Amino acid sequence: MLEDNDLPQGEDKAIIVEQMFDQIAHRYDLINRLMTFRMDVRWRRRTVRGLALEPGSTVLDLACGTGDFCNDLMRYELNPIGIDFSAGMLAAAATDAPLVRADALRLPIPDSHVDGITCGFALRNFKDLNSFFHEISRVVRPGGRIGLLDVGQPSHPLLRWGHRVYFGTLVPKIGALLSDADAYSYLPKSVDYLPESEKMLTELRVAGFTDVARIPLTGGITQLFLGTQGT
Ligand SMILES: C[S@@+](CC[C@H](N)C(=O)[O-])C[C@H]1O[C@@H](n2cnc3c(N)ncnc32)[C@H](O)[C@@H]1O
């Protein structure tokens, strides 16, 4: 599907990403748990706690995939709505939360309508991250909260090296064995789409969020961005 170091851009990227997740949906949860040693569960719950929203708040989980974040939001007595553009991922979802098939960059949601937003491991998959930040700013009410998770780069050199070897070599092998070789070789390459964290913090501020913070998790292999809608 993809040549080495050939990362698609624009509309091509959106089409390839949607097809890729349709393709890997049936084994997505299994491989996620295996390759993160179940740490993904802890990272999502840390994100939900970081929102610090009142029970009963409405939270959009964008790029919800198979619904893990929705389940964690419900565990904390929040009311999630999952949104994803991959019909395959939504069909494989195991959650009681309402799910909607839509593009996270063009949300079918009125302005200032929700109390919070979560998004797990999808920032690098969007064709335009800046548009995404502006779109979430549009739909979150003033004072509402966002929690965005994605992969990161550990700052410790040894951990950084080990992570590169694991993520760049072993994960594609596990993926090829249990699911789809192309998709799981794209995964480590897709990290190159993510801007430097300082740039992301600036873009979030420009989009209207205050109190923005980046929290490295598990030595920085994952990063959490938190913010409050300021306008
Ligand atoms: C790596 S999965 C993450 C799934 C889930 N959030 C999790 O934490 O496991 C990325 C998800 O992003 C979705 N996605 C990517 N771009 C999207 C877009 N523009 N609109 C909606 N969903 C999108 C994919 O379909 C896929 O389900």
Instruction: Output the pLDDT for position 205.
Output: 98
Local confidence band at 165 (pLDDT 50, 70, 90 cut-offs): confident
Ligand 1 atom at minimum distance from 89 CA = 27
Give long-range contacts, CB 8 A cutoff, 24+ apart: 6-11: 7/189, 7/190, 7/192, 7/193, 9/127, 10/127, 11/127
**Segments making up each domain of the chain, as ranges:** 10-229
What is the average per-residue pLDDT within 98-119?
A: 98
Mean pLDDT score of the chain, rounded to an integer? 93
What residue type is 203 in one-letter code?
A: E
- Closest-CA residue, ligand 1 atom 13, reads 63
Local confidence band at 5 (pLDDT 50, 70, 90 cut-offs): low
Q: For the segment 68-101, what is each residue's pLDDT rounded down to a tens digit? A: 999 999 999 999 999 999 999 999 999 999 999 9
158 C-alpha to center of ligand 1: Å? 30
The residue among 78, 112, 107, 110 whose CA lies nearest residue 95 is 78
Query: In CATH terms, is domain 10-229 a member of 3.40.50.150?
Result: yes
Helix axes of 129-139 and 197-206: crossing angle, nearest 10 degrees:
40
Of 57-66, 72-81, 174-183, 214-223, which gets the smallest average pLDDT? 174-183
DSSP secondary structure code for residue 168 in this structure: I
- Closest-CA residue, ligand 1 atom 4, reads 65
What residue type is 47 in one-letter code?
A: T
What residue type is 82 in one-letter code?
A: G
What is the average per-residue pLDDT within 30-55?
A: 92
Of 89, 136, 146, 223, the one to substitute when testing ligand 1's pocket (max ligand atoms within 8 A of C-beta) is: 89
Instruction: Output the pLDDT for position 94.
Output: 95
Ligand 1 atom at minimum distance from 149 CA = 8
With 80 as the cut, is the pLDDT of residue 181 above it? Answer: yes
Pocket-forming residues, ligand 1, beta carbon under 6 Å: 14, 17-18, 21, 32, 63-65, 68-69, 84-86, 89, 103-105, 120-122, 125-126
Instruction: Output the pLDDT for position 1.
Output: 44
What is the average per-residue pLDDT within 123-151?
A: 97
CA 2 to chain CA centroid, nearest Å: 22
Of 12, 31, 45, 86, the one to substitute when testing ligand 1's pocket (max ligand atoms within 8 A of C-beta) is: 86
Alpha helix locations (H) across 25-128? 28-36, 39-51, 68-75, 87-92
What residue type is 210 in one-letter code?
A: T
Ligand 1 atom at minimum distance from 86 CA = 25
Q: Maximum Cα–Cα distance for the chain, whole Å?
A: 48
CA distance 98 to 213: 29
Local confidence band at 127 (pLDDT 50, 70, 90 cut-offs): very high
Between residues 79 and 34, the one the model is more confident about: 79
- Are residues 214 and 200 in contact, defined by beta-carbon separation less than 8 angstroms? yes
203 C-alpha to center of ligand 1: Å? 21
DSSP secondary structure code for residue 163 in this structure: H
